[in-house]
Amino acid sequence: MTRRKIQINVPSLARVEGEGALHLKIEQGRIEQLQFRIYEPPRFFEQFMQGRHYTEVPDIVARICGICPVAYQVSAVNALESLFALETTPWISNMRRLLYCGEWIQSHSLHIHLLALPDYFAEETVLGLAAKEPELVRRGFAIQEAGNRLIRFLGGRSVHPVGIQVGGFHHAPAVSEARSLLSFLEDTLPQAEALLEYLAGMALPEQNQAFTSVTLAHQEYPIEQGELISSTGLRLQPEQYESHFKELQSPHSTALWSLLDGQDYLVGPLARLNLNQAVLPAFLQRHLQRLGNPFPSQNMFHSMLARGVEICLALYEAITILREYQPDTPALELQVKAGVGCGWSEAPRGLLWHRYRVDSEGLIQEAKIVPPTSQNQARIEQDLRHSLHQFGLDHSTEALRLHSEKVIRNYDPCISCATHFLKMSVERQG
């Protein structure tokens, strides 16, 4: 009998945010070693926020990620406003949801068109996809532009926006700006609905597996606030997060792993939709039923369809808010007090939790941030093992590599966000 021994090294994963790698070792038809390696250098954001004034935090954390800066800003202000016992006005809450909708739209559209879809057309990049499906790519960029305009409306600019402050916003845009933006979004929603129909018609691998979904939940679809729930029945407030979720370091990753009561779990669009489908707007529920609604789903390849659903949701939410838009007092005064504040929100890639310890002068003494990609790392490795066995280990090395990359891209990992810690030991002599 011929014994087959395969060793695959993908030294640098393409079409993901940041720098990561995969090591896969197969011996005699079994996976002997599988490592999703994150080797991007740590970035020390939690360290260099220490000693900075709380008012600087929203602009500092926005620099952690060029794709989801709003998520970092909103989780940070949620944590600090919780500490300062500040209740925001309905106007501020609505504007934060509106700004966040822009981030979901641009991030999801970028992932679908530039990162994921080329896999399904045997193309390496979006340029090859554009040659085969130019209208598909043009529509994707138009949808992404809607997200960018939304972020500029309240954030001042689409990359690393600067509009949010603890207590509200720095300014309230004029009605004329809102009307112009509303018209563009109303023209974009039908394109997003067409994208959803396109995604629902794609032939995707049927690979169901068991996993725990973790998401926020609220009276409306969770974006900027909510309580944490899981498919196992867990319900938590932000300050209870560390009682169930623990971070640990893996030797092959510069990013921390996060486990829920010792087990891997899923955050992100599929987890959100699995547990929050009942609060989708009626028009979107009708769309899903007509398209053969697969949710709740245990197939990670449905993640791209979940992103399509959330693009439509975010556009609908933004249009609804903008139709009633009137400027109001953009920010509230607050009273600084010492203590610890925790907050979270739903980044495009999933739950994003922050904790800050602040002194009586408003200076940050300690910061802790748990991004979605850290929370999905253990799940990605479990998924790869399961999915590769279902795909079949007898495939060529190139086919195994492509399938593995496709599985990883289902999670839209943001490796740059996840690398925030380095275990360091120092030996001193003399």
pTM of the model: 0.91
Q: Is the peptide bond before 251 cis (omega within 30 degrees of 0)?
A: no
pLDDT of residue 430: 35
pLDDT of residue 136: 97
Beta bridge partners of 201: none
CA Rg value for the chain: 22
Which residues have CB under 8 Å from 255's CB, separation 6+?
Answer: 38, 40, 373, 374, 377, 415, 418, 419, 420, 421
**Tokens standing for residue 336:** 């600084």
pLDDT of residue 281: 97
One digit per residue, the tens of pLDDT, for the chain of length 430 reads 455 666 666 665 554 456 677 888 888 888 888 888 877 677 788 988 999 999 999 999 999 888 899 999 999 999 999 999 999 999 999 999 999 999 999 999 999 999 899 989 988 889 999 999 999 999 999 999 999 999 999 999 999 999 999 999 999 999 999 999 999 999 999 999 999 999 999 999 999 999 999 999 999 999 999 999 999 999 999 999 999 999 988 888 777 889 999 999 999 999 999 999 999 999 999 999 999 999 999 999 999 999 999 999 999 999 999 999 999 999 999 999 999 999 999 999 999 999 999 999 999 999 999 999 889 989 999 999 999 989 988 888 888 888 888 888 898 877 655 443 333 222 323 3
pLDDT of residue 73: 98
254 closest CA partner among 391, 69, 417, 399: 417
pLDDT of residue 124: 84
pLDDT of residue 293: 96
d(C-alpha 231, C-alpha 246), whole Å: 18
Which residues have CB under 8 Å from 254's CB, separation 6+?
Answer: 38, 39, 40, 41, 42, 419, 421, 422
